[in-house]
């Protein structure tokens, strides 16, 4: 490490350990079909942007599929949290409580993600017409492998369900809203032979959106045919996931909201969001001012500590506005005091280099794991800093 120390005036809260709010004042409620069970609604809500989650946590019935169906960990995180952002347009965090999907189980999701079959393929696979539930295009088997995959690519990669519950006068919870996320491929990957080389077919944005809306219409029809979801409000959102080699997440492109009992998906609202990598050529070209903020921040870090390697940021833009910036700083420390000192310095740089309106989150890691987390909310006068023990 360079023999250079910088004194920074840092207004921060150093949290040397974590603690969770007690549950003794939380609301007890009942839920369940048939056999009722007692659950708890936490009284404490982190912020107006987060939903309270029912305790004990009930894993979704299709939990785990998202990991194998989406391309990157960035897509996985954005797909789930982005759905929660969209949910707030119609399901207020003050009124609704969050629960992972309890209606569509793993078998249903898998059947919907498969290809549609021809009559001959149904007979070959010993399936009935009622089991022909695939939402992806039919592969007739005609033509070369390239022709078949370009003619009928896999558009739908994953389906995520989020349930939104309300508390009734009799202290019971009721499913009063649902958000469905349809993860769409921007690139279709395929092989010409088992264990062979992987090929790709890139799909244009217009085609992906058009096919996604067709799939959404069928999903809405199927949900309205189910007893649990035939009358509740439902939001369906389209997410275009990034290619396999991307270092940023994909983005939501549109959503439609169905009022109680409605199955018409024709009213779509466009979502103008995009993730941008810092530093990058696209960031410099399209967002020069924000790129300069990040470059100066990165330069000051590297002038303090020569052990930094690959300081990167991922910014989420809504239109032209930078609404979130998450920065990763991997570094090698030789002691806890050194980690604390560096974290204090970085906190000062966050407050110095980035405008007040930009929310910034900095994760400092080493080979031993996470070292510190710095969070500056939009227009906050003081950042919050957590030093991991």
Quote the domain boundaries for residue 359: 276-387
Retrieve residue 4's tokens. 């250079």
Same-domain check for residues 194 and 328: no
| Dist. CA 249–CA 241, nearest whole Å | 7
State the pLDDT confidence band at 55, using cuts at 50, 70 and 90: confident
Q: Which whole number is the average pLDDT over 260-287?
A: 96
Q: Which whole number is the average pLDDT over 256-261?
A: 96
Specify if 92 maps to a domain.
yes
Retrieve residue 164's tokens. 């939104």
Same-domain check for residues 178 and 325: no
pLDDT value of residue 332: 82
Same-domain check for residues 231 and 290: no
CB-CB contact of 147 with 139 (8 Å): no
pLDDT value of residue 19: 38
Same-domain check for residues 64 and 88: yes
CB-CB contact of 354 with 325 (8 Å): yes
What does the pLDDT look like over 116-133, one tens digit per residue? 999 999 999 899 999 999
What does the pLDDT look like over 140-161, one tens digit per residue? 989 999 999 999 999 999 999 9
What does the pLDDT look like over 276-325, one tens digit per residue? 999 999 999 999 999 999 999 999 998 877 656 689 999 999 999 999 99
Backbone angles phi, psi at 7, to 5 degrees: -85, 120
| Dist. CA 179–CA 384, nearest whole Å | 32
| Dist. CA 274–CA 78, nearest whole Å | 11
CB-CB contact of 129 with 122 (8 Å): yes
Which are the contacts of 185, defined by CB distance < 8 A and separation ≥ 6? Answer: 153, 154, 155, 156, 157, 203, 208, 241
Specify if 365 maps to a domain.
yes
Q: Which secondary structure element, helix H or strand E, spans residue 80, and what is its range? A: helix 73-87
- Give this prediction's pTM: 0.87
Residue 44, pLDDT > 70, answer no
Same-domain check for residues 219 and 362: no
State the pLDDT confidence band at 370, using cuts at 50, 70 and 90: very high
Residue 17, pLDDT > 90, answer no
CB-CB contact of 180 with 196 (8 Å): no
pLDDT value of residue 28: 66
Same-domain check for residues 254 and 287: no
Residue where a domain stops, chosen among 230, 256, 271: 271
Residue where a domain stops, chosen among 213, 237, 271: 271
Answer with the residue of higher pLDDT: 25 or 263.
263
Same-domain check for residues 232 and 105: yes
Strand partners, 238: 182, 254
pLDDT value of residue 334: 72
Same-domain check for residues 134 and 280: no
Specify if 108 maps to a domain.
yes
Residue 386, pLDDT > 80, answer yes
pLDDT value of residue 5: 33
Q: What is the mean pLDDT of the chain?
A: 89
pLDDT value of residue 292: 97
**Structure letter (DSSP) for residue 97:** E
pLDDT value of residue 132: 96
pLDDT value of residue 148: 95
CATH code, domain with 299: 3.30.300.190
Alpha-carbon Rg for the chain, nearest whole angstrom, is 24
Report the range of poorest mean pLDDT among 132-141, 162-171, 196-205, 312-321: 162-171
CA dihedral 46, 52, 56, 59 (to 10 degrees): -110
pLDDT value of residue 20: 37
Same-domain check for residues 207 and 299: no
| pLDDT above 90 coverage of the chain, percent | 76
CATH code, domain with 262: 3.10.570.10
Same-domain check for residues 302 and 184: no
pLDDT value of residue 169: 84
Specify if 47 maps to a domain.
yes
Answer with the residue of higher pLDDT: 45 or 99.
99
pLDDT value of residue 26: 57
Helix, strand, or coil (residue 95): coil
State the pLDDT confidence band at 46, using cuts at 50, 70 and 90: low
The number of folded domains in the chain is 2
Residue 335, pLDDT > 70, answer yes
Helix, strand, or coil (residue 132): coil
Same-domain check for residues 256 and 296: no
Q: Locate tokens 């500590």: which residue?
A: 305
CB-CB contact of 31 with 165 (8 Å): yes
Retrieve residue 65's tokens. 């599929």
Specify if 162 maps to a domain.
yes
Q: Which whole number is the average pLDDT over 163-185?
A: 94
Same-domain check for residues 236 and 371: no
Residue 21, pLDDT > 70, answer no
Burial grade of 137 (CB within 10 A; 0-12, 13-18, 19 or more): middle
Specify if 25 maps to a domain.
no
Specify if 26 maps to a domain.
no
Residue where a domain stops, chosen among 232, 255, 271: 271
């Amino acid at each position: 490490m360079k023999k250079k120390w910088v004194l920074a005036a840092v207004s921060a809260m150093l949290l040397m350990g974590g603690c969770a709010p007690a549950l003794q004042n939380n609301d007890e409620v009942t839920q369940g079909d048939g056999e009722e069970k007692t659950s708890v609604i936490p009284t404490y809500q982190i912020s107006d942007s987060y939903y309270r989650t029912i305790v004990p946590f009930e894993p979704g019935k299709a939990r785990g599929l998202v990991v194998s169906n989406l391309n990157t960990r960035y897509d996985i995180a954005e797909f789930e949290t982005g759905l929660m952002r969209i949910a707030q347009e119609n399901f207020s965090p003050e009124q609704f409580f969050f629960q992972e999907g309890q209606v569509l189980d793993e078998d249903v999701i898998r059947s919907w993600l498969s290809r549609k079959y021809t009559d001959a393929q149904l007979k070959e696979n010993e399936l009935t017409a009622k089991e022909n539930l695939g939402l992806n295009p039919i592969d007739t088997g005609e033509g070369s492998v390239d022709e078949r995959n370009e003619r009928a690519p896999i558009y739908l990669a994953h389906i995520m369900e989020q349930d939104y519950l309300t508390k009734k006068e009799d202290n019971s919870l009721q499913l009063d809203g649902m958000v469905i996320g349809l993860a769409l491929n921007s690139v279709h990957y395929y092989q010409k032979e088992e264990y062979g080389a992987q090929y790709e077919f890139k799909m244009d944005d217009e085609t992906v959106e058009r096919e996604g809306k067709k799939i959404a219409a069928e999903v809405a029809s199927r949900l309205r045919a189910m007893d649990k979801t035939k009358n509740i409000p439902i939001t369906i959102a389209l997410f275009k996931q990034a290619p396999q080699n991307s270092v940023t997440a994909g983005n939501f492109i549109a959503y439609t909201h169905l009022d109680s009992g409605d199955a018409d998906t024709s009213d779509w609202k466009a979502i103008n969001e995009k993730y941008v990598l810092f530093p990058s050529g696209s960031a410099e070209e399209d967002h020069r001012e924000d790129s300069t903020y990040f470059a100066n921040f990165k330069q000051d870090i590297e002038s303090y500590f020569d052990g930094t390697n690959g300081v990167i940021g991922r910014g989420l833009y809504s239109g032209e506005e930078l609404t979130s910036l998450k920065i990763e700083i991997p570094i090698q420390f030789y002691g806890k005091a050194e980690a604390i000192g560096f974290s204090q310095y970085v906190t000062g740089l966050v407050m110095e280099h980035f405008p007040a309106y930009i929310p910034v989150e900095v994760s400092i890691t080493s080979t031993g794991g996470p070292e510190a987390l710095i969070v500056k909310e939009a227009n906050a006068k003081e950042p919050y800093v957590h030093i991991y023990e």
